[in-house]
Amino acid sequence: MSHAHDSTENSVKDDAPAGSTQKDGEVCAVCCDEGHGHSPRRDCETACEIGILPTHESDHIEDEKYGCSEHCCECGHDHGKREGEGCELKDGCGCGHDHGDSDQFGLTGWLGAVLFAAGLFFSNRPFTPYLLLAAYLLVGWRPLQKAVRNIAKGEVFDENFLMSVATIGAIAIREYPEAVAVMLLYRVGEHFQGLAVNKSRSSIHSLLELQPETANLLKDGTEQTVPSAELTVGDVIAVRPGERIPADGVIAGGATSLDMSSLTGESTPVSVKEGEEVLSGSINLEGRIEVKVTKLAKESAAARILQLVEDAAKAKAPTEQFITKFSKVYTPIVCLFAALTAAVSTLVFKRPPAEGIYAAMTFLVISCPCALAISVPLGFFGGLGLASKRGVLIKGGNFLEGLGEVRHIVLDKTGTITTGTLRVSNVEPAKGFTQSELMQYAFSAESGSNHPIAAAIREAAQDGPKPSAMQEKPGYGVICEVDGRHVLAGNRRLLTEEGIEAPAPGGIGTAVYLAVDGKFAGLITVSDTVKPDAEKTVAALKRRGIASITMLTGDNEPTAKAVASEVGITDFAANLLPQDKVTRLETIMKGAAGKTLFVGDGINDAPVLARADIGAAMGALGSDAAIEAADIVLMDDKLSGLEAAFEVAAKTRSIVRQNIAFSLTVKFAVMALALFGHASMWLAVFADVGVALLAILNCTRLMAQKA
């Protein structure tokens, strides 16, 4: 049926590179030359840098979940390690720590510790230096070996180099106990930092376990367990209570309730029945259901979420980029200052050369930028993980940090502030008719239409007599017979053409006019409804210091004004075509300080999403186009997800700034003490290791938070 109602509201609105199929342990054709088993599309520099992604062979290629970009790591990782061992770090860190290895202290570390204790116990004996030198070689072999290997590759200024030079210098001036102590504490610190990073990694991995590896395929009357990746469109699978749905599909049998919290952040179970769509990653809570697969596992909702979370590590925040560059410049400069410290101590303060060398070695120990280079990326990754727990997918640390600079928000109306679903908002029967009669006539007249307005009327009326002699009048409405009575349903023009007087439409919404046997019977108003959380969210955003919130819509001004007023927005623009929205957004951006965020339903707003500083798509979990166009994806249909995104961004920014301030303050303080001869190498290594560990633990506060 072609509706032409009198309305005050318009209608609702990589290809994988070579090497992508390599098996476990093979070298990625576009990756580093270190024997990664990465599959494509993962920037492993960032991934390995923060120690979050799998670092052992068995995880590198599992389900092809992790990829590698063409600018891959060249990081010198020891990728042939056993399960549980960690990745050395390179570009982001520059420090050489095995941050992901929680069990690297090992036998040599314990033997070195025993010999060190023996050397301290048997002090001032002829064999004491030999005990301490043996202890030094046992605990320092790995850092010494890595320093030599990295120097051969042109990577001089890492922590292995700093620790090696500092401790060899200590040995040269016969400070054997301190040389061993520095290496021993350094190894102990690595161990505990590895434990902290592994905890962080496990927290993130728990977010990524959305897609089960196997599925229960129903075939030829039997149930077979097959890999989820082998499912094809049209297959029917069984999902028992407690199991995750392995692929998107439609329920072919049974009914249940689903836990979709891992997808949308919404903890309330969702009831589904036969014929309704279900998304992979949802947990079946009640009865056994049969699901007909509609998408391949790799194209399903869970797979898209996995890809988004993984790809998010590629886009570094400006703070991360600065720290990466800062680390590469900072360490050589500190080495120069160490040499100057030795010179100043000897030439200016007239101290013995051994004291000058000792001060310089202390400078080298404290100079490692590890706490910054590890904790900053880890902080942003933790923020991305927390956001995904709350049903918000942010496509990188740059957008997460960018939220903190947003001062202007532009909201589309339909599907963002309003539900985008039409509902009957008012029924006005004429004299001689009841509301029930009017709705039944309307149900009958609209029974053959798929138009959203017709669907809204049928949903409200529930039932009505079967019509006959149905006649459509495009642009006007429909004429039919209902229980022997002549019924017209459509716009006011339809009734006027038939010589029936009807009042002009009033109020907000789309008016459907009805006439029975040549007499005006009444009108039904259908309108979009404001989302329950819209007003509260707008108020919360204003409290966060957002300077302006603007609503854009294609609807006419009375409708726009009413909706804006209801949710507390004073600035709005109506009667806009899609291209007009882009123009209006650009006008706002030109005259605004700070970044501008646009929020739309992700269906009709791709041009505006792409043009904004940051674009967020509402309820876009099932829309590939929206996921592609948006920088932030609010996985459910609640505007409150926007407030959650700002909250996570603020927490992340706070933790990252705390780590930067704390790390630099402690390091500069110890450097100052070393310059004036008041800092020991023991203090320096405690400061280096302790600060890094505390910064990492600070980041885990983000990951430990619940949705």
Give me the helix-helix angle, 370-389 and 640-675, nearest 10°: 170
Closest to 484 measured CA to CA, from 503, 467, 500: 467
In DSSP notation, 568-632 reads T--EEE-S--HHHHHHHHHHHHHT-SSEEEEEE-SSS-HHHHHHSSEEEEET-TT-HHHHHH-SE
For residues 164 and 150, the answer to whether their CB atoms sit within 8 Å is no
Query: How far is Cα 496 from Cα 498, in angstroms, rounded to an integer?
Result: 5
Catalytic position from the list 43, 101, 158, 412: 412
Closest to 412 measured CA to CA, from 12, 2, 8: 12
**Token digits for 327?**
């680390």
Active-site annotation holds for 412: yes
Q: Strand pairing partners for 275?
A: none
Closest to 383 measured CA to CA, from 407, 399, 405: 399
**Token digits for 502?**
């009807």
Buried/exposed code over 259-283 (b: 16+ C-beta within 10 A; e: otherwise):
bbbbbbbbeebbebeeeeebbbbbb
For residues 519 and 532, the answer to whether their CB atoms sit within 8 Å is no
Q: Report the C-alpha dihedral over residues 436, 442, 444, 445, rounded to 10 degrees.
A: 160
For residues 52 and 380, the answer to whether their CB atoms sit within 8 Å is no
Return the sign of the alpha-carbon dihedral for residues 560, 562, 564, 569: positive
**Token digits for 56?**
């052992």
Query: How far is Cα 581 from Cα 326, in angstroms, rounded to an integer?
Result: 41
Which residue numbers are catalytic? 412
